[in-house]
Structure 1
Amino acid sequence: MSNIEEKVLLLCVNYQNDSETLAFLRSVFETDRAGRVRVAVADNTVRSDTERTRFKLEAESIGQYVCVTSANTNLGYFGGLNAAFEKASIEYPEILFSCVVLSNTDIEFGSSHFFDELVESIDHRTRASLLNNIGVIAPVIQSSRTGANQNPLYRRKPSRGKFSYLSAIYSVYPLGVAHRLLSKVKNFVKNKSNIGKVELKDEAIYAAHGSFMVMLHEYFARGGKLAYPEFLFCEEIFVAEQCASLGLTTLFCPSLRVVHRENATTGLLPSRKIVSYLQRSHLYCRDNYL
């Protein structure tokens, strides 16, 4: 295989959760048996120079191919991933990666050979000429809370009216809080009812769940970006719409599986700032996508 078929770039963001991020990095290299993975971490935690250096040294000591970048500010989720991607282009300039994995740090790999299976899956589709129009691969993401699969996030494109409605809801803080709580209950019940359902076939979908998605080389080759202009939320729609505009498909691939521990970093009751981010992101989707 050539380099473009062998190597995987994994991007993640650390925000006030050093222990989880470091444990995640260890799990990546324990799973990466063939030495395929290169990792770039964006440290979004605001802290002293001493503490920032300590985290960087500890993270980079975990594996030969780990690099950390920090602007000593919180760049948001995709803002951090984009910074990590730019750092990786400096640290690993000679490698044309077959894919770029965007991952939360509360992810567990469903197989001790996950990265081998991922690369083999991509290689199989490459040899069968099935990857030319695929931009993103979405694995099964099993919720640790319910056991249900969180992918596909959207099988079909949501209507523009949905984003108009939600942006209006999130413009009023009490309504935003109520909607978030009701959504959690609804998703819990829905996911419980989906436990045990087995997905067997690959399926073209609209949007992948943002906790773990695999972007193929073609996504970036055609001009796909990570530079989402909002701070948080609706990143999946941003990626899905880029795929659509570039003539690419998102593929749900149930042969690949990870577990999402779903650490509630934003809390049960969202703050005013979180609800504000929700409103901004849904307005962005309403105004930019049809």
Structure 2
Amino acid sequence: MKTAFVCVNYNNSKITQDYIVNVLDIKKNYDVKIIVVDNASEENDVNGLSVYINCLKNDNVILLKSNSNLGYFKGLNLGMNYLEKSEFDYFVIGNNDLIFDENFINNLKSKKIKNEVFVIAPNIIRLDGVHQNPHIVTKFSPIQNLYRKIFFSNYYIGIFVQFVYNKLRTKLVKEDRVNNDKEQEILMGYGACYILTKSFFNIFNELDAPVFLMGEEGILANQVLSGNGVTLYCPDLIVNHHDHSSIGKVPSKTLYKFSQDSFKYYLKNLKHIQ
């Protein structure tokens, strides 16, 4: 089995180094490539990462430097397009703040994945033990869609709505995802990590990437459904997640604007998940 691991780095090269160490540790005798895409980090950060990777003297670990910040999915596309996709069984793509379980590759190799599965959503677990998948199992209800429309109508309205929701959240929904121990088809996986199969690349050359940041889960889900594919959640593919190590560097108002733009795109274009 030949697997590519592709992640993006933005001003947190120390975390990326941990990512590389982890993947090299779990790869054992498997054929693995690691592609790190730097999204125009500060000079000190990317230079430190470059020195680290050069010192590894490992041709299977590659750093690609973008001259501009491409955002999340476009950054991942840059990394994936560097490789000949047909040579790989899987592309494990996502954030750099991930630590893969020691049996991750073994468990992935043992799976009998049907042709209709385009994307595998792994069992992403935050450091506090919260399971972030299965993220969204079915399409949003009318009440959920109304909440989102109100939330994204205005930044200050969004702050108020989020404040009220946070007060009521424990009564409305559990943060830990329901049925996180059950393999199942879902609508969309959590955006920190995905596994793209050969079937995905039989239909698509790369990820749809119309937005800079935020909302990628819905965009990928829509892309998968547009090709008559499915997303499969697999609880035995365990990934530990530091959660928002890069996004945490972005001011909240900026993040809201990114999310608002993504929601507008969702309403206009993502018909398969509405």
Range class of TM-score, shorter chain: 0.7 to 0.9
Indicate which of 174, 181, 202 corresponds to 2:183.
Answer: 202
Q: CA deviation at 1:234?
A: 1.1
Indicate which of 73, 97, 104 corresponds to 1:106.
Answer: 97
1:7–1:176 CA distance, 2 compared to 1 (3 A):
same
1:118 maps to which residue? 108
1:165–1:263 CA distance, 2 compared to 1 (3 A):
closer
Indicate which of 51, 56, 73 corresponds to 2:50.
Answer: 56
Q: CA deviation at 1:182?
A: 5.6
Return the alpha-carbon distance in structure 2 between the equivalents of residues 203 and 69 of structure 1.
Answer: 35
Q: CA deviation at 1:9?
A: 0.8
Superposed, 1:1-290 pairs within 5 Å as 6-48=1-43, 52-62=46-56, 63-87=58-82, 89=83, 93=84, 96-110=87-101, 112-121=102-111, 125=112, 130-145=113-128, 147-158=129-140, 162=144, 166=148, 168-180=150-162, 190-191=173-174, 194=176, 199-223=180-204, 225-267=206-248, 270-290=251-271
AA of the residue aligned to 2:155:
Y
SS in 1 for 2:247: coil
Q: CA deviation at 1:47?
A: 3.2
TM-score (norm 1): 0.81
Consecutive unaligned residues of structure 1, counting only runs of 5 or more, are 1-5
Question: Contact 2:94–2:194 (CA<8 Å) still a contact in 1?
Answer: yes
Return the alpha-carbon distance in structure 1 between the equivalents of residues 131 and 264 of structure 2.
Answer: 28
1:29–1:241 CA distance, 2 compared to 1 (3 A):
same
Return the alpha-carbon distance in structure 1 between the equivalents of residues 99 and 245 of structure 2.
Answer: 16
Tell me the number of residue pairs that the alignment of Structure 1 and Structure 2 aligns: 269
Report the aligned-residue RMSD.
2.8
TM-score (norm 2): 0.86
Consecutive unaligned residues of structure 2, counting only runs of 5 or more, are none
Question: Contact 2:126–2:132 (CA<8 Å) still a contact in 1?
Answer: yes
1:181–1:107 CA distance, 2 compared to 1 (3 A):
farther
Question: Contact 1:42–1:68 (CA<8 Å) still a contact in 2?
Answer: yes
Return the alpha-carbon distance in structure 1 between the equivalents of residues 54 and 121 of structure 2.
Answer: 28
AA of the residue aligned to 1:65:
N
